[in-house]
Amino acid sequence: MKISVKMTKMASPPLILVAGLLAIIAVGTLLLMLPAASHSEYSLHWIDALFTATSAACVTGLVAVDVNTTFTVFGEVVIMILMQLGGLGFMTMATLFALVLGRKLSLKDRLLLKEAINADSMEGIVRIIRKVMIFSFTIEGIATVILALRWMADMPAGQAFYYGLFHAVSLFNNGGFDLFGNSFVQYRGDWLFNLIASVLVISGGLGFIVLSELFDYRHRRRLSLHSKLVLSVSGGLIVIGTLVIFVFEFTNMRTLGPLNWEEKLYASLFQSVSTRSSGTSTVDITGLRQATQFFMMLLMFIGASPGSTGGGIKTTTFIIMMGAIIAMVRGRNDIVFFKYRVPKVMLMKALTVIIISLLIFIIVVMLLLMTEDAQFLSLAFEASSAIGTVGLSVGVTPQLTDIGKLIICATMFIGRIGPLTIAYALRPKSEKQLYRHPEGHIIIG
């Protein structure tokens, strides 16, 4: 496989990956503009096609048009493929075809793969990719069958299988798209759906490195510091998110109020799981109290884990900053997790990610306030959802002006490529080097 050899001589791996994502979005936009992609006799407007393609390729889920009523099966399949490519990455998918064809990867190809999945070294990179592919397609396949069997009671078998496949891809890749028009509100009390959907979202949001280590755990019986942090922080955020949403919305008649205790718990748990990366919902997001919406903005800002299908500043960035605060309060000089001391360079990178993300968020909100006629919290919510590539919306996105849609498109793209890629691009040419992955046991960005 001789992919991007000439390009690698001219550009760094992160920038090549950015160019690859742009190419996927461009092709997706053109396909969605075809008459065969939409029910209308006219082609989909270019801004809506671009917005949808960007949202799918950046695995966000924000939509300017209703997917179910606007797109044909062809258009929906294009969106599904974009989510798969955007979630796993075009380099990962290219590697799959190379392995199937029996071709060997060059050193430069391996360097690109290292960047694509946020690995900290090239050692065993092909083995990791192979396991990721097996794990990803296996869990998507199993989820497709289970969801199809569940939905056969509500629709014809062929449609149930198609819906199962589409939503398995969407949920695992944290794509945020659905074909029901109101996300999964009608299944908020369905324990089987909530279980399968939550497993898909959590699996996709943990990161490929963590998935690989979990896959090998039965043999190695140990996890790296990175995986321990990702698993503990993810679990903690899910529990905290569930409790906060449950308490804040318990008496809200527009969301959890009319539900019984079991449905309240299911809805709170699913929304906590979904808010940090997936963007799907089983409650009406527009009906949430402002306190809950603001809390969800914080979860969206944190996002998923490095090397995953989700966005945000990432769980490792969040926990390192929390560790720094705790160390400062206790009067300690070192940040320590699981008896490991975190190098200062990781703290600097975590701080860089947070500051750049905050600056982008502030700029985007200010631009939206100048171009759109909507409330501040609503625009801030959409901006947070876009930069975290989450996809939850309070209903503002479809009413955005063309300029507003372009702003959100750019925000979703920036949120997907990550702050460290932006930091790399801003460095002087003479000082550029691959520094996305810190020396040590934790991956940031």
Q: Does residue 174 register a pLDDT over 50?
A: yes
Using CA atoms, how far apart are residues 40 and 29, in angstroms rounded to an integer?
A: 16
Q: What pLDDT is attached to residue 435?
A: 43
pLDDT in tens, 64-116: 998 988 999 999 999 999 999 888 775 566 565 555 555 565 666 666 566 55
Which helix (H) or strand (E) element contains residue 303? none
pLDDT band at 436 (very low <50, low <70, confident <90, very high): very low
pLDDT in tens, 242-272: 999 999 999 999 999 999 999 999 999 999 9
Backbone angles phi, psi at 182, to 5 degrees: -130, 35
Q: Residue 175, Cβ neighbours under 10 Å: how many?
A: 33
b (16+ CB within 10 A) / e for 150-167: bbbeeeeeeebbbbbbbb
What would the two tokens of residue 264 be? 């309240």
pLDDT in tens, 282-335: 999 999 999 999 999 999 999 988 877 788 899 999 999 999 999 999 988 888
Residue 353 DSSP SS3: helix
Using CA atoms, how far apart are residues 46 and 236, in angstroms rounded to an integer?
A: 42
What would the two tokens of residue 347 be? 């703290």
Q: Does residue 241 register a pLDDT over 80?
A: yes
Contacts of 219 (CB under 8 A, 6+ apart): none
pLDDT band at 224 (very low <50, low <70, confident <90, very high): confident
Q: What pLDDT is attached to residue 190?
A: 92
Using CA atoms, how far apart are residues 168 and 174, in angstroms rounded to an integer?
A: 10
Using CA atoms, how far apart are residues 267 and 327, in angstroms rounded to an integer?
A: 36
Q: Does residue 181 register a pLDDT over 90?
A: no
pLDDT in tens, 2-43: 444 444 444 566 677 778 889 999 999 999 999 999 987 777
- Model-level pTM? 0.88
Q: Does residue 380 register a pLDDT over 80?
A: yes
59 alpha-carbon distance from chain centroid? 6
pLDDT in tens, 323-372: 999 999 998 888 888 888 888 888 888 898 899 999 999 999 999 999 99
Nearest residue to 413 via CA among 29, 44, 51, 12: 51
- What percent of the chain shows pLDDT beyond 90? 55
Q: What pLDDT is attached to residue 7?
A: 42
Q: Does residue 429 register a pLDDT over 60?
A: no
What would the two tokens of residue 420 be? 């460290």
Contacts of 348 (CB under 8 A, 6+ apart): none
117 alpha-carbon distance from chain centroid? 13
Q: Does residue 410 register a pLDDT over 80?
A: yes
Q: What pLDDT is attached to residue 244?
A: 97
Q: What pLDDT is attached to residue 4?
A: 43
Q: What pLDDT is attached to residue 152?
A: 94
| Three-state SS annotation for the chain | CCCCHHHHHHCCHHHHHHHHHHHHHHHHHHHHCCHHHECCCCCCCHHHHHHHHHHHHCCCCCCCCCHHHHECHHHHHHHHHHHHHHHHCHHHHHHHHHHHCCCCCCHHHHHHHHHHCCCCCCCCHHHHHHHHHHHHHHHHHHHHHHHHHHHCCCCCHHHHHHHHHHHHHHHHCCCCCCCCCECEHHHCCCHHHHHHHHHHHHHHHHCHHHHHHHHHHHHHCCCCHHHHHHHHHHHHHHHHHHHHHHHHHCCCCCCCCCCCHHHHHHHHHHHHHHHCCCCCCCCCHHHCCHHHHHHHHHHHHHCCCCCCCCCCCCHHHHHHHHHHHHHHHCCCCCEEECCEEECHHHHHHHHHHHHHHHHHHHHHHHHHHHHCCCCHHHHHHHHHHHHCCCCCCCCCHHHCCHHHHHHHHHHHHHHHHCHHHHHHHHCCHHHCCCCCCCCCCCCCC
Mean pLDDT, the chain, integer? 85
Backbone angles phi, psi at 38, to 5 degrees: -130, 155
Nearest residue to 199 via CA among 189, 191, 237, 212: 191
